[in-house]
Amino acid sequence: MNQPGHLFIITAASGAGKTSLVKSVLAADEQVKLSISHTTRPPRPGEENGVHYHFVEEEAFLAILSEGGFIESAQVHSARYGTSQTGVNDALAAGNDVILEIDWQGAQQIKKLYPEATSIFIVPPSLEVLAERLKNRAQDSEEVIAKRLAVAREEMRHVVEFDYVTINDKFDDALQDLIAIIRTQRLKTATQLKRHEALIQTLT
């Protein structure tokens, strides 16, 4: 029988490569699932509803919020984001490890509800590299990029609140860091005792 999975919080400033890294983690490990957040912002090119986000109108978002349907919610860059409590709990109960891609505000809220969750902050190798990555996305104006960089500096001041930090300089190295953190959590005694209780009882 499947045992409850583990919750991983992954946070990064916009442009630090979080989405690409998480996508690669999911491809490398089928036991890891992504919690799909709700948002009021419009889809970016290539994004699909129900795959990247649940894109909803402000009124629908506020209705879910008022009913206590989100375990965390925040407003970022004039858009609202929220994480479904039912979606996360169902995935964990099925024995999957779950990744939440959220900002530092959401991470603080999640830690209060799930203190055992593992939090990871991804940082760029420099502000100059971060600025270049944002420009190369060709999705935002210079004014918007400048605002994102200012917000990024504020966000990265919260790095000390997280359990792990990885620097996304070389993509493959950062990816292996994330995979290593997930595997380390699975190998902890408390986790192994849960997931392999029957085996361990026969050995002791």
Q: How many CB atoms lie within 10 A of CB 65?
A: 14
- Map residue 49 onto helix, strand or coil: strand
Superfamily of domain 7-203: P-loop containing nucleotide triphosphate hydrolases (3.40.50.300)
Name the stretches of the chain with pLDDT < 70. 1-3, 138
pTM, full prediction: 0.84
Residue 175 contacts residue 32 (beta carbons within 8 Å): no
* Beta strand spans in the chain (E): 7-12, 32-34, 38-39, 54-55, 70-76, 79-84, 97-101, 118-123, 164-167
Q: Where are the domains of the chain?
A: 7-203
Provide the strand spans (E) within 52-198: 54-55, 70-76, 79-84, 97-101, 118-123, 164-167
Tens of pLDDT along 34-44? 999 999 999 99
